[in-house]
Amino acid sequence: MILEFLDEHARYKLYILQILEIRKNQFLTLAKMCELLGLSKYKVQVYLEELQSELSKGEKELFAVEIMDKGELEWTAIDAEVIRYQRYLYAKQSIRFRLFHNLFMGKYTMDRFAVEESLSLAQVYNIRKELVFVLNQWDLDIEGMNIVGKNEVAVRNSIFEIYYYFFNGIEYPFEEKVFKQCSQIKDIVIYSQQMRLIYTKQIKMEIFLAVQLIRARQGHVLETSLPNLSGSKSDIQKNLEPFYNKLLFKKEKEEQIAEEIKWVLLFLIIDLEVVCLEYEVKDDQRQHIKNLSNKLLLSVKKHVQEETIHEEWVKKICNKTQLNMMRFFYFRYRATTFIEDEQRAYFRSFYPTFHKISIDFIETARCFDETLWDTEEALSKAYYDCLFTLISIIPINEVEKKINICVDFSHGEEYTKFVCKNIENFRDLNITIQEIHNQYTDIYMSDFAIKRLNCRQIIWRNPPTSSDWEEFADCVLKIKKEKFNE
């Protein structure tokens, strides 16, 4: 949906890159690519040639693809950073996105924009019509020269996400003056909290603040009732107030300034999770959070033996569910949510119990309130929020059966240690290494097969290659699946 901001040819080229990245090391034909994209063979070939040309910079070839005699595609591995940079370039090249940027910044009238872009006024209004169609998918619209929506919180979140998606870490898309003011606010936050803010959160905060400042200066007021912060004013509030009052919102009413500061603090508390301040939760939200927490805990108890569930886990799960739901209520993003089946397949293989709990949870949650989980993106976000909550709180060895691997090579102790050290890289698979085979051994690894053993055997007569390790991982995952289904 977000790629609709791009021109059609750019959009399809990005789709191609994304497909090739996801399907790396998989068999893929030109015919299948055409089917996935809904394009003709000729069109796909043209786009592949254009991509190869665009991504060949001097002696460094970032992407190469070849169509073999039988139509199969062979291509060089696609770096995610290459896709991200192409996405950014295509956004800057897109006339539709440039019109969106112009409207958001409040720069030019349609007449002036037509002159700046060397277009006729009729062409600009056609582009505006296309942009309205795209914005409607984000619950946004255009009134006059303003971007509007159902409420200001939703408008700001959508605009933030659009800029964050296309420009994240590559270029600051706003004026230098705005950047300096956002940096000052960021510095106040860092100083007040005596924190070190990681680079990704700094970028996110800078774009968030820019959207806030630009919208507020244009007179767009936060009409949504935001949660109140508990207790007396914190140092960070006290330090932000004079800056917002004197430099940014001279014409705004005092209560509006207070809401804007509260909006920043809620972003820091709920979204970035870098500030620890208590906030009030509305009664209806509290009940909703309580119901969902209970449903998640029921899903956990369904798949995890109740006697192994620690009280500390329950408390952390409830707290994290509240944070996830508050983020869902006030900072709901769509474009940055994982949605591909291949991504879920990884977690289904590596964390089958947590995957099953998460699937059960979102099915229950959807039945509980269809209005909240009204899109695939919303359900996908709920799935990953639940999954990562469980992974971060519950040790994998507490909920899934261990896979016992006996490592027994005849090449000497140092060689065996070398293999064991490499096996430790697969610790997410909940592996225990054994020195001696016993009745609990699931895999016996050696350079010689032993017929009398009744477990799986992996025999490496030579030092393992990358393909050997892939086969090892596949074997472990098969056993993991069998144990889960027992």
Q: Quick check: is 173 in a domain?
A: yes
Q: Quick check: is 276 in a domain?
A: no
Residue 72: DSSP 8-state: B
How crowded is residue 66: how many other Cβ atoms within 10 Å of its Cβ? 11
- Domain span at residue 346 reads 283-398
**pLDDT tens series, the chain, 486 aa:** 899 999 999 999 999 999 998 888 789 999 999 999 999 999 999 999 999 999 986 666 788 888 988 889 999 888 889 999 999 999 999 999 999 999 999 988 999 999 999 999 999 999 999 999 999 999 999 999 999 998 999 999 999 999 999 998 899 999 999 999 999 999 999 998 888 889 999 999 999 999 999 999 898 989 878 898 887 788 898 999 888 887 665 555 778 888 999 999 999 999 999 988 888 898 888 998 998 899 899 889 888 888 888 999 999 999 999 999 999 889 988 766 555 566 788 899 899 999 999 999 888 877 777 767 777 778 888 899 999 999 999 999 888 899 999 999 998 889 999 999 999 988 888 999 999 999 999 999 999 999 899 999 999 988 999 889 989 999 999 999 999 887
Which of 51, 80, 109 finishes a domain? 80
Residues 116 and 254 in one domain: yes
Q: What are 66's strand-pairing partners?
A: 74
**What is the C-alpha separation between 341 and 345, in angstroms, rounded?**
6
Report pLDDT for 58: 61
Identify the helix (H) or strand (E) that includes residue 367. Answer: helix 352-368
| Spatial contact of 414 and 440, defined as CB atoms under 8 Å apart | no
Residues 248 and 107 in one domain: yes
DSSP codes, 463-485: ---HHHHHHHHHHHHHHHHHHHH
Q: What are 431's strand-pairing partners?
A: 403
* The residue count for the chain: 486
Q: Quick check: is 140 in a domain?
A: yes
Q: Buried (b) or exposed (e) across 219-240, using 16+ Cβ within 10 A?
A: ebebeeebbebeeeebebbebb
Q: Quick check: is 331 in a domain?
A: yes
Which of 365, 398, 431 finishes a domain? 398
Looking at 168-245, list the stretches that DSSP marks H as alpha helix, in order from N- to C-terminal side: 176-193, 199-217, 235-243
Identify the helix (H) or strand (E) that includes residue 451. Answer: none
Q: What is the CATH number of the domain that holds 425?
A: 3.40.50
Residues 17 and 113 in one domain: no
Question: Residues 6 or more apart from 438 whose CB is under 8 A from it?
Answer: 406
Crossing angle of the two packed helices 311-330 and 376-393, in degrees rounded to 10: 150
Residues 101 and 197 in one domain: yes
Pairing mode, strands 403-407 and 443-446: parallel
Q: Quick check: is 305 in a domain?
A: yes
Q: Quick check: is 13 in a domain?
A: yes
Residues 423 and 327 in one domain: no
Residues 167 and 143 in one domain: yes
Q: Which residue has the tokens 């998640």?
A: 296
Report pLDDT for 69: 86
Identify the helix (H) or strand (E) that includes residue 147. Answer: strand 146-149
Q: Quick check: is 85 in a domain?
A: no
**What is the C-alpha separation between 118 and 114, in angstroms, rounded?**
6
Q: Quick check: is 143 in a domain?
A: yes
Question: Residues 6 or more apart from 331 whose CB is under 8 A from it?
Answer: 157, 267, 270, 271
Residues 309 and 258 in one domain: no
Report pLDDT for 252: 56
CA distances from 61 to 21, 30, 76, 83 (A): 16, 21, 9, 14
Residues 241 and 379 in one domain: no
Q: Buried (b) or exposed (e) across 67-103, using 16+ Cβ within 10 A?
A: beeeeebebeebeeebbbebbbebbeebbbbbbbbbb
Residues 187 and 226 in one domain: yes
Write the burial class of residue 203 (CB in 10 Å: 0-12 exposed, 13-18 middle, 19+ buried): middle
Question: Could you tell me the sign of the dihedral formed by the alpha carbons of 124, 127, 129, 131, in that order?
Answer: negative
Residues 443 and 380 in one domain: no
SS3 (DSSP) at 389: helix
Identity of the amino acid at 160: F
Which of 344, 373, 398 finishes a domain? 398
Q: What is the CATH number of the domain that holds 67?
A: 1.10.10.10
Pairing mode, strands 73-75 and 431-434: unpaired
Q: Which residue has the tokens 């996801």?
A: 22
Q: How many domains does the chain have?
A: 4
Residues 126 and 231 in one domain: yes
Residues 18 and 129 in one domain: no
The phi, psi pair for 203, rounded to 5°, reads -60, -45
